[in-house]
Structure 1
Amino acid sequence: MVHIKEFAVEQWMDSYETWATHNLAETCCASISLSDLSALSANAKTPDLVDFAQKQTYGAIRGSDALRANIANLYADNDRDPLPKEHVLVTNGAIQANFLALYTQVGPGDHVICHYPTYQQLYSVPESFGAEVSLWKSQEHNGWQLDLDELRSMIKPNTKLIVINNPQNPTGAVLHHDILQGLVDIARQHDITIHSDEVYRPLFHSLPHEQAQPPSILSFGYEKTVATGSMSKAFSLAGIRVGWIASRSRAIVEQCASTRNYTVISVSQIDDRIATYALSTPTVHNLLQRNLNLAGRNLDVLEEFLREFAWAVQWVRPQAGTTAFVKFINRQGEPVDDVAFCRLLQERSGVMFVPGSRCFSGGRDFKGYVRVGFVPEHQVLVDGLKALRMFMQEQYHLVPAAV
């Protein structure tokens, strides 16, 4: 029987988010309604997003042509051939996209190298398929960046897959062009497939002025690359449960499509229609600009708050995405028990965080760290930080040190 580890972060979210007063653990940009989406279109006449006359069949099994074309446009690169829509498979969220791509690429006897810390699915799922997984640890002292020399030393004769998460959950760090190019060069040399979870792309809100947005992994001219994405994080539409797999390799897409027949056959026609509209021009640009503005504004507020409590926190300011990884310490400079902190904080103030040691390492690493979701509605963040400030002033001393 296949054994898979408990999905710690999703279990935590399931247990705590329904009764949080101030949810500062959410990883999606502030959600929007269909009315909001219509307003973002800037068109005088917005089409009906739900066609009541449409027969509710399975619809286009791989996703409608219009939706797959719009997704392919997200990977447009002047230096590369356009990505054909046939190289896109629409899935039920990025979580299914990742599962299918991993399921079809690795099995018993394979070796997988995975960017770390990251979303647990990206390393626990390959382990459940019988693969050996090595964690390629990003370095906090270097802005949560990766070391290519370390990657070279990790490669084995049976290394089948390298998994990255760019932008990174939970740190908000970005792997830039030079690192990605080096990664591709190494993978090509050893004939290794690269799987890039790009669910927070293209939410690059805080890059240094001299740095350009890094390209997708699909932009480097290497066929054995897979990118996954969704409408949930950067596009504020988690409720429609639409994600995708995109690859320069048609064979990889075909493998995933064949396997998907054994799970969820297709995405709802209604969801497909809404996603198609959201990713159309000019709606997609307006939606992203709304979220970039919100992320930048909120991150400045969070940074100001953390500066106020500089004695108690350590962090690397995120460059992208919706999450920050913040370390809390006590007056003696010791990391606090992050699980106890998150529980006490929510019980006493209603503020919800995610404990890093529980949800991103299984208790091995990241003691004292919490993941903060900083792109809810602006007032939600302001109110949550106000409640957190009171807790820090009056009850933070009750939080025990990490053991």
Structure 2
Amino acid sequence: MKKIAFALLAVLGLAALVWHLNLRDEADLSAPAPVVAATPELLARGAYLARVGNCAACHTTRGGTPYAGGRGIDTPFGTVYSSNLTPDAQTGIGSWSPAEFWRALHNGRSKDGRLLYPAFPYTSYTAVTRADSDALYAYLRSLPATAQAATPHALRWPFSTQPALAVWRALYFQPGVLQPEPQQSAEWNRGAYLVRGLGHCGACHTARNALGASDDQLDLAGGLIPMQNWYAPALTSPHEAGVAGWPRNDVVRLLQTGVAPGATVLGPMAEVVRQSTQHWSPADLAAATTYLQALPQSDAKVPARDLPPTPARVAERGAQLYDKHCVQCHGAQGQGVAGAYPALAGNRAVTMANTANLVQTVLNGGYAPATAGNPRPFGMPPYVLVLNDADIAAVLTHIRSAWGNQAGAVTELDVNRLRAN
């Protein structure tokens, strides 16, 4: 009986702890709601903040009404469907108060108190200020109301349950507005707010554990984007996507146009630039640049590499395939064409340890975003129907070891895993 009693007390204690931790910093909905006057200035600010957060990307289906929700977001635990953010009273946020909207951003709770799944990145949005939340709320409430009922999530048990989500939140979620760091400049603090908060860069650029939580110890140190199989490179490494040593104008240009000397954004980041960062104000682009360039950089020196030799048949096959399919654009020495086709020699996107993006680009093509600053970008066609796994592995192995590049081989298995997905 004593063992049963202790076990029951332990369960009750854990339940109480989880309950307490899930009510941390909870918004007070009983207080009188402040009036949010939808002035033209506030609506313009809210529209801008929605761009910064790239809200439409998840809350709009392809060809659907903007912000009406229904887009499926695949996760390792099933599919989560985005909600309707238009002011429809029954299916959208038409009956929500500013405080309830703020609570969703800040604490990850819906109007009825239900816990939200972190596919909605409230783990980042908790840093958003109440003033910015109110501006977003006012803007969304100004949109045409669209009646579109929520699509039920398709998550596996137990991930589909509120108790499981409560435990996850108790382990991995700490609500709290980002506090300015007084030893840093105002521009740095603004950049931190954008990158870590509404911009939610860590949602992709930070590794996740088996339960889908970001590893704070590896903040912005790179991670494979779940279910998309693109690698968001480390913003803390000069060998991946760190920009500490770049000219400031080049960082701004990359975020604004998708291209910069020696760099082109592809894959999911191309969508971010097209729909979000190209619309950021010059001041916010400068602030984000200041913050990104101040990130501590790991591995300041390129480590010595002791790589096994590439088998002769693979090396020969890779060189032949390069001459047949790649040389016209990227050059005999991997030098590329300035302003059109990126150089492959000395390109850190080529020599990164993680080869997922290289394989994805060859399989499915590489397309920079069309932006105001680069309206007609050059692209690379897909080779998924042209080259088999062995061919892609061979040509990428050649590229990673030619013209002074020193990176490991790509295997057929590496290619097959991404082709199969």
| TM-score of the aligned structures, taking structure 1 as reference length | 0.28
| Greater relative contact order (Cα < 8 A, sep 6+) | 1
TM-score normalised over the length of structure 2: 0.27
- Please identify which structure carries the higher strand content: 1
